[in-house]
């Protein structure tokens, strides 16, 4: 695999604005981590599923990251709020922003992109 590769994640239709996330596993910095992709204002975004306050998964139910208004990504445990389009801390007990994962979308498919410290999880 080259230094950076595009890995098919889901159909574009699977990501609905402010809706349920698509989860996937990655190896980040040598550790297996859960990640998620959401759509916000028409554009897909992906992050590690790891709150910056305490490194634990954020969703309160599988794939549920948006608050009731559909405006913020929330950590269900601590209430930290993040901007859906940048992962930046928007309030609460966060320490910096979420770890972003590059995405692209073409021909009805969303792909996530590997990096020097981000690889697909394999059994």
Q: What is the DSSP letter of 115?
A: B
5-58 pLDDT per residue, tens: 999 999 999 999 999 999 999 999 999 999 999 999 999 999 999 999 887 899
Q: Which domain holds residue 51?
A: 6-120
91-112 pLDDT per residue, tens: 999 888 999 999 999 999 999 9
* The model's pTM: 0.93
Give me the sheet containing 118-120, strands edge to edge. Answer: 100-101, 43-48, 31-40, 22-28, 118-120
Q: Is the CB of residue 113 less than 8 Å from the CB of residue 103?
A: yes
CATH of the domain at 111: 2.102.10.10
1 domain-assigned: no
38 domain-assigned: yes
Q: Is the CB of residue 81 less than 8 Å from the CB of residue 67?
A: yes
């Amino acid at each position: 695999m080259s230094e950076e590769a595009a890995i098919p994640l889901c159909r574009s239709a699977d990501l609905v604005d402010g809706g349920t996330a698509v989860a996937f596993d990655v190896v980040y910095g040598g550790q297996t981590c859960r990640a998620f992709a959401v759509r916000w204002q028409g554009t897909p975004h992906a992050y590690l599923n790891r709150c910056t306050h305490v490194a634990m998964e954020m969703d309160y139910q599988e794939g549920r990251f948006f608050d009731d208004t559909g405006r913020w990504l929330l950590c269900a445990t601590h209430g930290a709020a993040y901007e859906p389009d940048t992962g930046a801390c928007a309030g609460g007990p966060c320490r910096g922003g979420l770890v972003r994962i590059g995405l692209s979308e073409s021909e009805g498919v969303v792909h996530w992109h590997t990096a020097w410290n981000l690889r697909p999880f394999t059994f």
